[in-house]
């Protein structure tokens, strides 16, 4: 076939497969070293596979598609497009250091326009049909639906058209293609099962194979192996065949061998291991490995030297519609190159590494899995570290295998990918495939995707597309073209640092590689700067321009510093940005964070000066100070800097300038002293600014004496000693340089002492600690101590606290083992007298605290302890006394100290508790504290009764009687006992109940005190408490006229009538007050109502246990009291009061109707003068209310009766159906002897069938002791269900059978035999009127489910009630119903839920 004039070149002349014709790279331009011998693929694969070395070399045998056509489809990754513009950040914010998520556009997507155009033309002009399959090697072969194979060369020219439409009509569509390793043979598989072999050099048909696999099945896969005489075929029946090509005496033949039968599980994907030329000598190749994917598992087999299965791997759970995928590739792991199989079905990709050991065995090891969130339909290696995955939504994912990171995602739906569904469904042969294979074929596209040399080819319905990795330079430039400079720089930096993924085009020496990338980054930075200035918004607010440059300038600064190109930053970049004033200001301002982080070492004097000028002009003085202390200012004007710092109160910067610029450490001190000294000496308060200066002065002196630079860093080693001596000399000088006649001696030390004594002494303490072995320093230290004593002792200018701080400082220094200081001991005695002076009550707490710190610091060795205790007690320094007693283990005296200390009195309880509870104290010490506490117990109760009660309950419970006798204050005793024994107020330890039980008089004493101080709480306490005597307690409550409490005690004693009489007396008394009161008294009415409620509750609680006469004695007097009170009412408010009393009377009537018969109640009402006179209307309300209550109870009883009757009927019906249901045996043999039973037998034999399905001969059950005679009948239990596991359980079951409670299931007996006169046997069912054990068990189970009040008892109660309805409630009450009725039982429940559903 002639070449079409429209054919486009597959590869330009400069990118032919011949490497000598490729365009040469200018080594000088890219600074690439010359290499004598180029690296081989094997050497590259042998590179260690780690995270830091992720660069790979382009395969020299790749089909170069770089210049396929000028119309290349540019794509961008989701990762890069999602990143967008840089997020807004404030000034001084650094660029993020992490660039791991920036990958740019990893893939280059191109269309083979020449091939695509000729495929479309062939379909239109020669009826070639639509494309169905593609395979790529040195040529591109495309199969069509009309049986043709179109072969294109490297120029996209159509070189061969194999086959014809006539043959295609016979064979069907081309369903699979394969080219051997030297690109000399092409295998074509067809939809109707035929296979053809073609010579690609001549276009000659070499073989037509029609019998390699069963007829009627399509060829799904045909694959050459590395052996040109061996191929593998997979058909739509799921079988796999090995095809061996032979040539005997000039005759080409093909032998077929079945490797895997589809009847054992259909295989739908095969992949032989094929090695490139460089790896043909790999030892694994001798096995000719083949991977097969069936619908359930993966298999790896070896075809040579003999067929052998090396591994099987089941999928596990997966979607049955997902497509099995296989792909081989050689990878380098641990310095060895071995094949790795990637396989997937669904959303998990597995990696299997295949190795051959020294013995010749093949080992397969699992590697790290790749979990995805989408299902795959294709999986292809693009190189040893990168995979290309196609999901079911036709989105392409570039995955880095090591990090499992998704580098880029492309949507290739526009490709219109060709699917192989029709071949998997074998439509050309009648669709004779399984449903499972047809379901998998819905998304099968095995033949539409081919790979060769790192390039992936996708066959669309009208075009062929190619995907390949971009070079690193292309990826960067792609972002630059889109003006995404920030992302381009981030991506280039990842190439520079070796953290990028899927890198192409970078190899060789790492330093050279970094140099190439750095040059590219510099180029991008220049472009970025030009673009920033060019696209600057010319109009608008200043804030908009500032924000614009804040998003760009820090990026340039950051990458210049990362590349260590400060010359570029302060040269060309700064010159470019200086053209715009806003850009320049942003540039200067963003330098500050780098200066503070010490990342900008080589800042030029010009930039430094401009930065300080800019900050000063904008009033950013704090920023100036922070920058100055991090800069080398030797090249600046020192005097100007000092003046600026002093005028703007930048003291840190001023000190730094003096120290670093002039090595002057004393002048800053003098300036600060002169600023705060006069104010301190005049006695005035310091301003906030002066306080800051004083604090900085103290820190500065501390740094100088410790050898540290201020505010950061260290003083040069050669200046440390000099600076230290200068500072000491400065501090101890007698007068300042500009002193006058009024200046006191040692002005500097005096100033620091007045400013902050404690902190100045702390500075000296740190200094004394640092220089112990320096003789000269020791002399300075002694001199300073002498000056301090001279200045502070006997000087009224200093407070006791300041003097105490001095001596605390001295005590700490003198207590050190290597102390060299000398202090006169008399001075300590003098200070002690000063602090303990009893004539001065001012600053008492301050003086005590100072003396305590002095003693704790080691100053106690300077004093006589006895004299110290005497002075402390005289001065009431109880904390000092405690400190001294603690040293002497005189813990009992410490209790006395706490009690005398008005501030810490309440802490005595915790102290005593700790001494008596915590181990570590001797018994004698604990005993002394115990006795001391007992002596002071009355005082302890007065301090805090609640805490005292807690302490007594824990440690002094046995002495409670003595403690009560000691306490004379009745109110304190009441508070104490309330916290001790009243459960409503007890918070701490609980009092031992045995002690209270043995001493009831304690509780009775508390009750009496409670009656006095809180009478309203007496009854509640009696209800909550125990261990008191009823008679004695009742006398106490009656003595204090607490009748409700007395009534409660009488009721508790059992005297219900007496309790009622007390409550009735109280009620009558209150009613009498109400009748004598002519005006309406709401409070009294409420009081009467509360008392009546308590009385009614008393009657209701006890009516159940009384007979009818006793109930009448309770309820009728109460009713009489309420009705008689209404006769005595008088005054204008009597009508309203009468209505209230009638309402209360009605409440009494409603409450008593459950216990008193209705006629008796009506009789009592009608005999009353208040209700007996007048018309019926006056008592109509009472009678109607009683009748409503009666009707309600009658309706409730009738409804309950109906529910229970319906429930009982349903239960019995369900039970009858359950026990009369037929049974179906599980087997036709005895479960013991395992012999079959027959429906016709010579001898009669009884068969026992249980509802569980087991069947037995009766004799077999008897032999196992599973039958027992009970009440004249044989009872059986199932042997297997009840005794097959535990003999003990079997014995328990038999015992239950004897008791009439069988645990086995329902059984039937079936007998076999010959009735007289009959020759045929039949089944005979025994009939028994009584319930067998299984029926009894079912009934018991049903009763258990509805366990509650006995139905018999319920029905008996209801029938008794209904039978006596005509006699009224009176008879019911007399019959004892109120006291024994099941309806009044608190456990009575009504099962109103619907019955459970049963299986018929």
pLDDT in tens, 776-817: 777 888 888 888 878 877 677 787 777 777 777 776 676 666
CA-angle at 103, arms to 98 and 106, nearest 5°: 170
φ, ψ dihedrals at 257, nearest 5°: -135, 130
- H-assigned helices in 1104-1176: 1108-1125, 1134-1152, 1158-1166, 1169-1172
Element (H, E) at 1324: strand 1322-1325
Query: Which of 1360, 1364, 1357, 1362 shows the shortest CA–CA distance to 1381?
Result: 1357
- Tens of pLDDT, residues 907-925: 888 888 888 888 888 888 8
pLDDT (0 to 100) of residue 1363: 43
The pTM assigned to this predicted structure is 0.54
pLDDT (0 to 100) of residue 69: 35
- Count of CA atoms in the C-beta half-sphere (13 A) of 194: 15
φ, ψ dihedrals at 1070, nearest 5°: -70, -35
- Residue 1200 buriedness (CB in 10 A; 0-12 / 13-18 / 19+): middle
φ, ψ dihedrals at 251, nearest 5°: -105, 125
Q: Which of the 8 DSSP states describes residue 796?
A: T
Query: Which of 428, 456, 426 shows the shortest CA–CA distance to 220?
Result: 426
The residue whose two tokens read 């990171």 is 405
* CA 1219 to the chain's CA centroid: 55
φ, ψ dihedrals at 705, nearest 5°: -70, -20
- Tens of pLDDT, residues 376-429: 999 999 988 999 999 999 999 999 998 889 999 999 999 999 999 999 988 888
The Cα 220–Cα 437 span in angstroms is 11
CA-angle at 1199, arms to 1198 and 1203, nearest 5°: 120
pLDDT (0 to 100) of residue 814: 67
DSSP result, 228-292: TTEEEEEETTS-EEEEEEEEETTEEEEEEEEEE-GGGS-EEEEEE----GGGTT-GGGGG-EEEE
**Cβ 276 vs Cβ 203: under 8 Å:** no
pLDDT (0 to 100) of residue 17: 33
- Using left for φ > 0, alpha for ψ between -120 and 50, and beta otherwise, residue 1123 falls in alpha
Token pair of 227 as six digits: 């052996």
**Cβ 947 vs Cβ 972: under 8 Å:** no
The residue whose two tokens read 């052998």 is 308
**Cβ 213 vs Cβ 256: under 8 Å:** yes
**Cβ 247 vs Cβ 265: under 8 Å:** no
Q: Which of the 8 DSSP states describes residue 890?
A: -
Angstrom CA distances, 1157 to 380, 1027, 1111, 1122, stand at: 97, 41, 11, 19
> If you count DSSP H runs as helices and E runs as strands, how many of each does the chain have, helices first?
58, 37
Weakly modelled stretches of the chain, pLDDT under 50: 1-100, 1174-1175, 1240, 1284-1286, 1289, 1300-1329, 1361-1380, 1386-1400
The residue whose two tokens read 């196609």 is 390
CA-angle at 53, arms to 51 and 54, nearest 5°: 80
Token pair of 765 as six digits: 């303490």
Reduced to 3 states (helix: H, G, I; strand: E, B; else coil), residue 131 is strand
Reduced to 3 states (helix: H, G, I; strand: E, B; else coil), residue 85 is coil
pLDDT (0 to 100) of residue 1320: 31
**Cβ 807 vs Cβ 764: under 8 Å:** no
Q: 365: which strand partners? A: 353
Token pair of 880 as six digits: 């000092």
**Cβ 388 vs Cβ 412: under 8 Å:** no
Reduced to 3 states (helix: H, G, I; strand: E, B; else coil), residue 188 is strand
**Cβ 513 vs Cβ 507: under 8 Å:** yes
pLDDT (0 to 100) of residue 565: 86
Query: Which of 333, 258, 265 shows the shortest CA–CA distance to 293?
Result: 265
| Torsion sign, CA atoms 548, 550, 553, 556 | negative
The Cα 189–Cα 175 span in angstroms is 6
Query: Which of 212, 277, 214, 265 shows the shortest CA–CA distance to 242?
Result: 212
pLDDT (0 to 100) of residue 292: 95
**Cβ 1216 vs Cβ 1335: under 8 Å:** no
Residues in the chain, how many? Answer: 1400
The Cα 643–Cα 240 span in angstroms is 93
pLDDT (0 to 100) of residue 23: 35
The residue whose two tokens read 């799921």 is 238
CA-angle at 1246, arms to 1242 and 1252, nearest 5°: 135
pLDDT (0 to 100) of residue 53: 32
Which residues, at least 6 apart from 710, have a Cβ–Cβ distance to it below 8 Å? 652, 655, 656, 659, 699, 700, 703, 704
- Count of CA atoms in the C-beta half-sphere (13 A) of 519: 11
| Torsion sign, CA atoms 989, 992, 995, 999 | positive
């Amino acid at each position: 076939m002639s070449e079409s004039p429209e054919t486009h070149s597959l590869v330009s002349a400069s990118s032919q497969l011949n490497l000598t014709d490729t365009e040469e790279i200018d080594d000088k331009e890219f600074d690439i070293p010359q290499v004598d011998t180029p690296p081989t693929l094997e050497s590259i694969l042998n590179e260690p596979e780690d995270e830091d070395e992720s660069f790979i070399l382009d395969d020299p045998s790749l089909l170069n598609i770089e210049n396929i056509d000028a119309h290349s489809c540019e794509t961008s990754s989701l990762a890069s497009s999602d990143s967008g513009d840089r997020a807004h950040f404030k000034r001084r914010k650094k660029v993020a250091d992490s660039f791991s998520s920036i990958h740019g556009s990893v893939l280059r997507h191109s269309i083979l326009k020449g091939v695509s155009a000729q495929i479309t033309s062939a379909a239109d002009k020669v009826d070639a049909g639509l494309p169905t399959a593609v395979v790529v090697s040195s040529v591109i072969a495309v199969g069509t639906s009309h049986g043709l194979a179109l072969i294109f060369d490297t120029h996209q020219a159509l070189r061969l058209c194999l086959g014809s439409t006539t043959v295609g009509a016979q064979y069907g569509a081309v369903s699979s293609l394969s080219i051997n390793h030297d690109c000399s043979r092409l295998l074509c598989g067809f939809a109707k099962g035929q296979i053809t072999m073609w010579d690609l050099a001549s276009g000659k048909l070499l073989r037509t194979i029609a019998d390699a696999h069963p007829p009627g099945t399509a060829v799904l896969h045909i694959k050459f192996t590395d052996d040109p005489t061996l191929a593998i075929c997979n058909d739509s029946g799921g079988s796999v065949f090995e095809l061996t090509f032979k040539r005997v005496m000039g005759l080409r033949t093909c032998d077929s061998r079945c490797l895997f039968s589809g009847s054992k599980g259909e295989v739908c994907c095969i992949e032989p291991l094929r090695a490139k030329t460089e790896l043909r000598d790999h030892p694994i190749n001798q096995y000719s490995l083949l991977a097969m994917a069936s619908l359930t598992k993966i298999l790896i087999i070896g075809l040579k030297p003999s067929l052998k299965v090396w591994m099987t791997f089941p999928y596990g759970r997966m979607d049955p519609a997902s497509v099995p995928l296989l792909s081989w590739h050689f990878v380098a792991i641990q310095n060895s190159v071995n094949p790795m199989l990637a396989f997937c079905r669904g959303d998990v990709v597995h990696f299997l590494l295949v190795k051959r050991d020294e013995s010749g065995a093949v080992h397969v090891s699992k590697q790290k899995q790749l979990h995805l969130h989408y299902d795959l339909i294709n999986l292809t290696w693009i190189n040893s570290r990168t995979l290309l995955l196609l999901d079911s939504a036709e989105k392409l994912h570039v995955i880095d295998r090591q990090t499992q990171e998704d580098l880029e995602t492309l949507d290739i739906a526009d490709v219109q990918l060709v699917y192989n569904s029709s071949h998997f469904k074998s439509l050309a042969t009648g669709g004779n495939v399984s449903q499972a294979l047809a379901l998998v074929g819905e998304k099968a596209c095995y033949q539409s995707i081919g790979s060769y040399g790192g390039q992936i080819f996708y066959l669309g319905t009208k075009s062929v597309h190619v995907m390949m990795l971009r070079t690193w330079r292309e990826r960067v430039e792609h972002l630059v073209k889109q003006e995404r400079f920030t992302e381009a720089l981030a991506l280039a930096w990842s190439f520079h640092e070796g953290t990028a993924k899927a890198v192409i085009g970078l190899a060789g020496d790492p330093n050279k590689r970094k140099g190439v990338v750095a040059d590219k980054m510099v180029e991008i930075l220049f472009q970025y700067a030009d673009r920033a200035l060019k696209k600057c918004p010319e109009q608008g607010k200043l804030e908009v321009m500032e924000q614009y440059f804040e998003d760009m300038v820090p990026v340039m600064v950051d990458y210049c510093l990362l590349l260590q190109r400060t010359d570029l930053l302060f040269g060309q970049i700064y010159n470019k940005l200086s053209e715009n004033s806003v850009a320049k200001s942003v540039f200067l301002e963003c330098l500050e964070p780098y200066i503070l982080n010490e990342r900008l070492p080589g800042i030029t004097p010009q930039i430094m000066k401009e930065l300080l000028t800019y900050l000063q002009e904008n009033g950013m003085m704090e920023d100036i100070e922070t920058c100055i202390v991090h800069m080398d200012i030797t090249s600046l004007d020192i005097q100007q800097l000092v003046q600026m710092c002093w005028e703007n109160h930048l003291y840190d910067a001023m000190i730094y300038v003096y120290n670093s610029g002039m090595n002057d450490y004393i002048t800053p001190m003098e300036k600060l002293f002169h600023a705060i000294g006069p104010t301190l000496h005049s006695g005035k308060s310091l301003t906030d600014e002066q306080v800051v200066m004083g604090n900085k002065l103290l820190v500065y002196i501390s740094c100088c004496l410790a050898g540290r630079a201020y505010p950061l860093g260290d003083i040069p080693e050669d200046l440390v000693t000099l600076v230290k001596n200068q500072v000491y000399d400065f501090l101890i000088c007698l007068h300042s340089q500009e002193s006058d006649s009024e200046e006191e001696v040692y002005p500097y030390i005096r100033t620091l002492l007045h400013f902050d004594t404690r902190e100045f002494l702390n500075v000296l303490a740190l200094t004394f600690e640092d220089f112990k072995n320096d003789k000269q320093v020791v002399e300075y230290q002694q001199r300073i101590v002498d000056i301090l004593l001279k200045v502070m002792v006997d000087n009224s200018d200093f407070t006791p606290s300041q003097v105490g701080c001095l001596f605390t400082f001295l005590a700490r220094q003198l207590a050190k083992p290597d102390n060299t200081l000398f202090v006169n001991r008399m001075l300590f005695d003098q200070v002690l007298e000063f602090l303990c002076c009893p004539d001065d009550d001012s600053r008492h707490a301050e003086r005590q605290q100072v003396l305590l710190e002095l003693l704790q610091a080691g100053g106690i060795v300077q004093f006589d302890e006895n004299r110290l205790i005497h002075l402390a007690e005289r001065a009431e320094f109880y904390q000092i006394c405690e400190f001294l007693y603690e040293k002497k283990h005189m813990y009992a005296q410490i209790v006395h100290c706490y009690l005398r200390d008005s501030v810490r009195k309440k802490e005595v309880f915790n102290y005593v508790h700790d001494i008596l509870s915590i181990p570590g104290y001797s018994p004698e010490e604990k005993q002394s504290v115990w006795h001391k506490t007992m002596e002071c117990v009355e005082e302890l109760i007065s301090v805090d009764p609640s805490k005292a009660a807690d302490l007594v309950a824990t440690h002094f419970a046995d002495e409670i009687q003595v403690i009560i006798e000691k306490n004379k204050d009745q109110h304190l005793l009441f508070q104490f006992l309330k916290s001790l024994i009243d459960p409503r107020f007890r918070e701490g330890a609980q009092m031992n109940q045995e002690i209270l039980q043995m001493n009831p008089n304690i509780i009775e004493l508390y009750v009496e005190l409670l009656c006095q101080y809180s009478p309203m709480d007496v009854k509640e306490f009696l209800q909550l408490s125990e261990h008191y005597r009823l008679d004695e307690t009742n006398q106490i409550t009656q003595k204090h006229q607490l009748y409700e409490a007395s009534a409660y005690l009488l009721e508790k004693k059992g005297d219900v009538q007496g309790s009622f009489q007390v409550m009735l007396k109280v009620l009558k008394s209150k009613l009498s007050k109400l009748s004598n009161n002519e005006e309406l008294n709401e409070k009294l009415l409420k009081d009467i109502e509360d008392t009546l409620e308590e009385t009614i509750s008393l009657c209701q609680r006890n009516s159940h246990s009384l007979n009818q006469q006793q109930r009448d004695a309770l309820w009728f007097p109460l009713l009489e009291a309420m009705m008689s009170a209404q006769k005595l009412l008088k005054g204008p408010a009597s009508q309203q009061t009468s209505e209230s009393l009638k309402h209360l009377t009605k409440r009494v009537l409603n409450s008593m109707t459950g216990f008193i018969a209705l006629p008796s109640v009506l009789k009592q009402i009608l005999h009353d003068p208040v209700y007996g006179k007048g018309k019926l209307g006056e008592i109509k309300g009472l009678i109607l209310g009683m009748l409503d209550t009666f009707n309600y109870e009658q309706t409730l009883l009738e409804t309950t009766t109906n529910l229970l009757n319906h429930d009982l009927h349903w239960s019995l019906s369900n039970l009858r159906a359950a026990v009369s249901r037929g049974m179906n045996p599980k087997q036709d043999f005895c479960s013991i002897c395992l012999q079959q039973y027959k429906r016709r037998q010579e001898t009669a034999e009884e068969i026992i069938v249980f509802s569980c399905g087991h069947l037995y001969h009766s004799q077999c059950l008897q032999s196992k002791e599973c039958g027992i005679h009970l009440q004249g009948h044989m009872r059986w239990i199932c042997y297997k269900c009840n005794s097959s596991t535990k003999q003990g359980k079997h014995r328990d079951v038999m015992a239950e059978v004897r008791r009439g409670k069988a645990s086995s299931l329902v059984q039937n007996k079936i007998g076999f035999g010959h009735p007289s006169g009959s020759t045929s046997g039949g089944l005979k069912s025994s009939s028994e009127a009584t319930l067998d054990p299984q029926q009894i068990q079912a009934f018991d189970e049903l009763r258990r489910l509805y366990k509650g009040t006995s139905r018999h008892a319920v029905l008996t109660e209801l029938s008794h009630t209904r039978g006596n309805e005509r006699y009224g409630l009176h008879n019911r009450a007399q019959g004892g119903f109120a006291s024994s009725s099941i309806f009044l039982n608190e456990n009575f429940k009504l099962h109103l839920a619907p019955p459970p559903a049963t299986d018929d």
